[in-house]
Amino acid sequence: MLIVRPARLADLDALERMAHAAHPVLHSLPRDRHVLETRVGLSEDSFRAEVEFPGELLGTSSIVASAGYSEPFYAFRNDALIHALFGRDFEQVELELGGQSRTFIAEVMPSYPLYVPLLPPEAQRVLGEPDDGALLAYDIHLEGGFEPDRFVDIFDAGPVLTVAVDRSASVLANEVRAVRTAQDDTGASGTPYLIAAGGAHAFRCVLVNLPSSLTTGAPLSAELCKVLSVKDSDTVRYA
C-alpha cells in the first residue's frame, strides 16, 4: 500500500537524500537543504495538519497553486529554443536554478525572438519532443488526459503538457462513496484504486488494489480506515 500525504519537516533528511540521488537533476527538488526546508515549511503552513504515517519515503511531488502570481512563469512558444543559449548543459542549469528566484532566467535569456529555421537541424528535431528518459512519465500524463500545448520547456525545449481540470482522467473517473468496514481485500491482485479523504486541511490518499467488482459503497479494511482517518458512513473519493 502506498500512502500520499503532505510533507513535513521530519521528512527533510529523506528529501535531501532524494534530491542528491535524482538524475537528471530537478530544479523542483533542489540540492539545497535550506531551500527544501523553506518549501516544506510552506507546505505545512498550507495544509496546517500533521498526518503521521510510518514507512519509507519513495517519492515527492508538488503543486504550485499560483504559478505566475508573485514571479513570472517562464515557457517559450513553440517557435523558440534556448538550450544552446546558456553555454552549459541541462544539469548545470537545473542546479543553478534550484533555489534561485526566477529572475535568474530573465537575466540570462535574450530579449529577442528565436526563429526555428535559423536553428541547427539537430536543435530543430528535438523541439517539443520528450527526452527518452521521460517517455514513461510523458505517456502516463497522456493517459491521464494531458496534451502537448503550444509551448516548450525553457531549458530543453521538451513539450509542456496541459489539461483542463474537468477533463482530466482522475476527475472524470472519480466518484464519492460512503465507507463501510470490510475484510482486508488489499493485495497484489485486483484493480488499483486511488482513495482520498480529508479535504485540504488533512488530506491523505492511498493507492491500493481492491476487487474489480466493486458495486456500492467503499468497502475498506480497518487498516485503510485508520490510514484515511475515516469510519463507517464517512465519504471518500475513488479514482
pLDDT of residue 217: 77
Domain range for 187 is: 174-238
Please tell me whether residues 3 and 36 are part of one structural domain.
Answer: yes
Please tell me whether residues 225 and 135 are part of one structural domain.
Answer: no
Q: Tell which of 40, 63, 86 closes a domain.
A: 63
Q: Once rounded to an integer, what is the mean pLDDT over residues 48-67?
A: 66
pLDDT band at 142 (very low <50, low <70, confident <90, very high): very high
Give pLDDT tens digits for 174-220. 888 888 887 765 555 678 888 888 876 678 888 888 777 666 778 88
Please tell me whether residues 157 and 100 are part of one structural domain.
Answer: yes
Number of domains in the chain: 3
Please tell me whether residues 31 and 74 are part of one structural domain.
Answer: no
Please tell me whether residues 47 and 97 are part of one structural domain.
Answer: no
CATH of the domain at 223: 2.40.40.20
What are residue 85's phi and psi, to 5 degrees?
A: -80, -15
Give pLDDT tens digits for 213-237. 666 778 888 888 888 888 888 899 8
Please tell me whether residues 79 and 156 are part of one structural domain.
Answer: yes
